[in-house]
Amino acid sequence: LLTGPTGSGKSTSLAAMIELVNQERAEHIITLEDPVEFIYTPIKSIIKQRQLGTDMLSFTQALKHVLRQDPNVILVGEMRDLETIAATITLAETGHLVLATLHTYNAAQTVDRIIDVFPPYQQNQVRLQLSLFLKGVISQQLLPRKSGGRIASREIMINTPAISNLVRENKVAQIKTVIQTSAHEGMMTMDQDLKRLFDAGEVERDIAQLYMMNPEVLDE
């Protein structure tokens, strides 16, 4: 899952992921988009792009029929409602690589948002599904770069056994602590990445602090 506010570059990052698969692997990729923002040229993969309103009436309808086309990779533009989220989880359960976006700001909020969409009697089942089939969450935001333009800062959560246990046991509040101490597994919090950008001279101190949850991290 790739998450962040509107204008945070989610579509660009997803396009880069699809392009990487296209360049390196022979896969059948189907994208479901509203609207289509990037046009892909097939290299090693077969890519079929579907646009809401032109090629499909709804994401939910498209997700129900997409398996008939035997894809390996499915891009869901945005998980907007319960039906789309449920269908997306089902696709992941069937062994497909599914890439999707949400308007959330960090990994813990993303997990909570997905679970909270479902009625209470389904939430334990959804926790179990996420603990088993969620691969990771990348949350990103764009901020002004010192040299001009913008640069992305990201929080990265990978669904390791430790994270999976927290999701399954409804201990989502502890996810941030695990991310903070799991750099060796490729994880980092947003604050840690902002400190990295500041230390590298990419962003000004006041900008880094503005986007941080805990600005004192800069002085650690």
Is residue 220, in this structure, part of any structural domain at all?
no
The fraction of the chain above a pLDDT of 70, given in percent, is 100
Q: What is the Cα–Cα distance from 87 to 68, expressed in whole angstroms?
A: 14
Where do the H-state alpha helices sit in 78-135? 82-93, 107-117, 120-133
192 lies in some domain: no
- Parallel, antiparallel or unpaired: strands 28-33 and 136-144: unpaired
For residue 87, give the amino acid letter: A
Model confidence at 215, pLDDT cuts 50, 70, 90, reads very high
Helix (H) or strand (E) holding 74: strand 73-76
pLDDT for position 151:
97
The residue that leads in pLDDT, 59 or 42, is: 42
User: What is the per-residue pLDDT for 53?
Assistant: 80
pLDDT tops 80 at residue 59: no
Q: CB count, 10 Å around CB of 105?
A: 19
Distance in angstroms (rounded) separating the CA atoms of residues 103 and 93:
23
54 in any annotated domain: yes
Share above pLDDT 90 across residues of the chain, in percent, rounded to a whole number = 83
Helix (H) or strand (E) holding 154, with range, is strand 150-158
Q: CB 202: neighbour CB atoms within 10 A? A: 18
Q: Is residue 210 part of a domain?
A: no
Full domain range(s) for residue 88? 2-185
Distance in angstroms (rounded) separating the CA atoms of residues 187 and 189? 7
Question: What does the pLDDT read at residue 217?
Answer: 87
Q: Are 75 and 27 in contact (CB under 8 A)?
A: no
Q: Is residue 213 part of a domain?
A: no
What's the CATH number where 50 sits? 3.40.50.300
Residue 20 lies in a domain: yes
Q: Please state the domain count of the chain.
A: 1
Output the CA–CA distances (angstroms, integers) from residue 119 to 64, 89, 122, 148, 167, in the order listed.
Answer: 21, 16, 6, 46, 17
SS3 label, residue 29: strand
CA nearest to 137, candidates 165, 168, 112: 112
Does residue 204 sit within a domain? Answer: no
Residue 87 falls within a domain, yes or no? yes
pTM metric for this prediction: 0.93
| 134-183 pLDDT per residue, tens | 999 999 999 999 999 999 999 999 999 999 999 999 999 999 999 999 99
